[in-house]
Amino acid sequence: MRIIDAQHLKTPFWGSRNMSVFASKQLGQPINRKRIQRLMHLMGLEGIAPGPRTTKRHPGHKVYPYLLADVVVDRPNQVWCSDITYLPLRRGFLYLVAVMDWFSRHVLSWRLSNSMDVEFCLEALDEAFDHGTPEIFNTDQGAQFTSRAFTERLLAKSVEISMDGRGRALDNVFIERLWRTLKYEDVYLKGYDSGADCLKGLMNYFKFYCHERPHQSLGFRTPWEVHNSRS
């Protein structure tokens, strides 16, 4: 699963067929495609043309249109985004959700969970609201974000809801970049043993990411500096 997770960050357009070939070469033995499909499903990677997405859709939930195609995002709290990713541990795995300000890249809140239930997403959203209220909130079409519990939280605060187009991996590009940075700078290097170790490590990393790590795209300022200089 660690191999699949790392390769998905590099080639998000790969489905189970290419992933099974790659994993077989990496491990030096044939890996059945059905096994790869089962693991990708467990990790939340669903094969959707043109490639996999970290989302599990619910056919009965309302899907909202993508609102950011022609929007110029030029200030904090104009657009927030959220996503869920899979974190491999030495003994098991966890899911991580984060809420990020699109303009500043500041991570407003995050939560860990051992399941894909909506509750940890709601907890992250409620904490993010302590920092303000966005005009637009963008997510993928995952069942957690399309659930009534989640969308009603947003609508109650008059937030416009935006959702990525199906199979469009770049619609939520900034939080996808966050996952890649987090995993290569922290999770893969540390190899956390347990959920407690991971929680402690992520607390330190997100503090570093937001308050100490300069971002080239932000003029080598930190997300915290940008978010608070214009909020």
Which residues in the chain come in under a pLDDT of 50? 47-54, 231
d(CA 224, CA 207): 10
pLDDT at 49: 41
pLDDT at 169: 53
d(CA 104, CA 40): 31
Would you identify the CATH topology of the domain 79-229?
Nucleotidyltransferase; domain 5 (3.30.420)
d(CA 104, CA 214): 12
pLDDT at 59: 58
| Phi and psi at residue 95, to the nearest 5° | -110, 140
pLDDT at 230: 63
Q: Give residue limits of the domains in the chain.
A: 2-54, 79-229
d(CA 85, CA 176): 9
Give the start-end residues of each E strand in the chain: 45-48, 51-54, 79-89, 92-101, 107-113, 136-139, 160-163
pLDDT at 54: 46
